[in-house]
Amino acid sequence: MDFATAPVHHVRDALRELFRRGVTRVVASLPTLPAPDLLAAVRRLAPLVWEGSLAGLHLEGPFLSRHRCGAQSAEDVLEPGSDRSRRLLESLVQAGRPDHGGPDAQAIVAMTYAPELEGAEWVERALFAAGILPSPGHTDATEAEFSTALQRWTGMQTPGLGLGGTGRHRLPAVTHLFNAMPGFHHRAPGPVPAALRAAARGDLRVELVADGLHVDPDVIQDVLRLVPGAVCVVSDASAATDAPAGTYTLGAVAIETTGNTGNQNSRAPRLAGQPTLASGAVSLDGALRHLLAWGVPLELAVPAVSTTPALTLPSTRRASGWVEWDWDAENGTIAPGPPAVVVPPGAPGT
Ligand SMILES: CC(=O)N[C@@H]1[C@@H](O)[C@H](O)[C@@H](COP(=O)(O)O)O[C@@H]1O
């Protein structure tokens, strides 16, 4: 099911399946699309956020680096500085805002953008003002460009949103750290070390795709040890995630998966006919199983898939109940299949 193009009743079916597996809050990511389609998708899905079915919308673009599109539609990437881009962002913010309610009611919770682009500062200002977190990602930024963007944010915070708050503050998160950005080089460090330093200071959170294919499991564990409270494990899922072999859509682009052939590498969705990774290979319950199988202690793994990512949501959308899994304490693994008990929000102890 492709959030960007599916009718609302298919979205509801997919959410029911995720909730059955123990996922309690879902942020729908919309990829870079032709501007009218993106606006239409926000208009279609925002009511699901207002009614509480979705926890929010994340727009992955369209203000991305043309050099780091990855699986995002390069044709639909826009320069943030143009009048057309300004009008589009204003319309998106408007489409995500309900008739009643403050910035906390905005359906869009985050937008991925490349902070080195000309006009990025305007995007950041507009997003913060609307209660939307700017998420650096799909970026070709140098370390200096990335750090400059973080400094710019300092003057743009609104109450409860921005840098340097308490541990439960709503902070921006880097969109899938390591993927779709320059890697670390000792003479050209790129955004990764700057992001990790900011995360260690408590000024930023970092998303990781923990499917065993996007980032080496040892690197995931290193990041969890370095900045344990800042890691948001995300599925980066698409219609092709956990799906049978076939061709699917990710908004405007065709992607494919070879399904579960027993060779884990073949299971990652890729751009059709190309080697480019296109989305996560497992949904969030699968990511938790991976973390535990790699030996990540339960007390690091569980917050990274639950309470830490929840902190990127407005506080009114964080209470998510509690899920008890059939887990094998001796082997540190959880049993496949649905959780043993899903305790609804508001129940004693949640
Ligand atoms: C939805 C989305 O955009 N997902 C990105 C994809 O675009 C990128 O190609 C891939 C690998 O990036 P990498 O080759 O830089 O590691 O990571 C994520 O799957």
Q: Is the CB of 71 under 6 A from ligand 1?
A: yes
What class is the 8-339 domain?
A: alpha beta
User: Which sign does the torsion angle of CA 229, 311, 234, 151 carry?
Assistant: negative
Pocket flag, ligand 1, residue 270 (CB < 6 Å): no
Atom 4 of ligand 1, residue of closest alpha carbon? 279
Say if residues 91 and 39 touch (Cβ distance below 8 Å).
yes
Average pLDDT, rounded, for the chain: 88
pLDDT at res. 346: 47
**Between these two residues, 193 and 314, which has the higher pLDDT value?**
193
CA of 165 to the centre of ligand 1 (A): 30
Q: Considering only CA atoms, which of 212, 217, 260 is closest in space to residue 240?
A: 260
Q: Residue ranges per domain, the chain?
A: 8-339
Ligand 1 centroid to Cα of residue 70, in Å, is 5
Q: What is the ipTM for the molecules in this complex?
A: 0.99
What single-letter amino acid sits at 20? R
CA distance 252 to 264: 26
Give the global pTM.
0.91
Q: Which residue has the higher pLDDT, 44 or 299?
A: 44
Q: Is the pLDDT of residue 349 over 50?
A: no
pLDDT tier for residue 347 given thresholds of 50, 70 and 90:
very low
pLDDT tens for 293-325 read: 999 998 899 889 988 998 888 888 876 555 555
- Is the Cβ atom of 112 under 6 angstroms away from ligand 1? no
